[in-house]
Amino acid sequence: MTTADELRSRTAELLATHDPAGTPPLDFLRARFDAGLAWVHFPPGLGGLGAPRALQAVVDTALAAAGAPDNDPRRIGIGLGMAAPTVLRYGTDEQKLRFLRPLWTGEEVWCQLFSEPGAGSDLAALATRAVREGDAWVVDGQKVWTSSAHLARWAILLARTDPDVPKHQGISYFICDMSDPGVDVRPLRQLTGEAEFNEVFLTGVRIPDAHRLGAVGEGWQIAQTTLNNERVAIGGQRTPREGGLIGLLAGTWRAHPELRTHELHQRLLQGWTDAEVLRLTGERLRQQLALGQPGPEGAAAKLAFARLAQQLTGLEIELLGEEGLGYGEWEMTRPELVNFTGRDAGYRYLRAKGNSIEGGSSEILRNIIAERVLGLPAEPRSDKDVPWKESAR
């Protein structure tokens, strides 16, 4: 098994042959991937060395100290956090070789075509159809709330391939080329004035069968890998002590002593404590993740993150009073990523409202925790054994 010393040696060799000061960033990232130092826990030849996941920090620390470029992980977060683990687990050898390298280097951005206007929280009720025609699937339908669709080259896509079986059984999982004819991406303007989300219309889109992940009809099972990783990516991000939103709130508190009250002070202390509990829980979750695939525990992290984000941004608005009601430019923009730290308190307050919806609504996450973590009885489901085409929609 690869050791920390071996990783340090490999990293030093990479830096010796590809000086970050003189190597174009993309060339350096490609060389890092080929050296197995992209994600060290992935298999050899796919950006890794089969090493323990926890040893990734050894590589990252050495490269950061040397001034090496990173792959802008926030910009390609959907690819890194959702698509890559799914392709690694269920993809063919050809799919892994084709997609993982440009995904990690950031050459190809990914998005997620899961939710629909009539199938958001009840994702298994999705109606987008994929019909087999020879060596391809013809897809028709609509997806919604799609982050980065306006930037993406590829999408992970769920579509119904068999309407004659219960809804969870008739779904298949595909990789969709967002540049193909029939893919129409339209902006969805949000409460913030931005349009980071999109709705996507699929009309006669032809997807090669070679771009299907897993077996036909196993899409729901495969999607659980994606969803579990998504919740960890949203709720389990690594932050330093007093980092993230609590750091911004604490900064506002220190900068405005004239606005402080005893009641706001108590709420700030409670928020700081909750943020620290979430941070330490995230560290524990990542340690569990290093030992295998993420489980439903990610739902708890994401649920807590959403609640805390709304609590902290609301408190900051109350602290600032009239000043907190100000808002910056309202022109619609198409950002590459969400920027909580580079905007004003009003933006953070409005944008945090989406945290309890994206990545699985808080109501659905509570069901997951109740059933899969606490072992409580499942809610009655009248459509469990009913063919999808006969179920109420």
Q: Which residues are catalytic?
A: 230
Answer whether 161's CB lies under 8 Å from 145's CB: no
Residue 115 exposed, middle or buried by CB count within 10 Å (0-12, 13-18, 19+): buried
H or E segment and range at residue 306: helix 297-320
Length of the chain as a residue count: 393
The string of DSSP letters for 171-210 reads EEEEEEETTSTTEEEEEE--TTS---EEEEEEEEEEEEGG
Tokens (6 digits) for 293: 């695939």
Contact predicate 124/169, CB 8 Å: no
**Three-class secondary structure of residue 317 per DSSP:** helix
- Integer Cα distance of 278 and 283 in angstroms: 9
Q: Let me know: does 196 contact 337? Beta carbons within 8 Å.
A: yes
What's the N-to-C CA distance of the chain in angstroms? 52
How far apart are alpha carbons 99 and 213 in whole angstroms? 12
From CA 41, how far away is CA 192, in angstroms rounded? 38
| Tokens, residue 221 | 């099972």
CA–CA gap between residue 301 and residue 296 (Å, rounded): 9
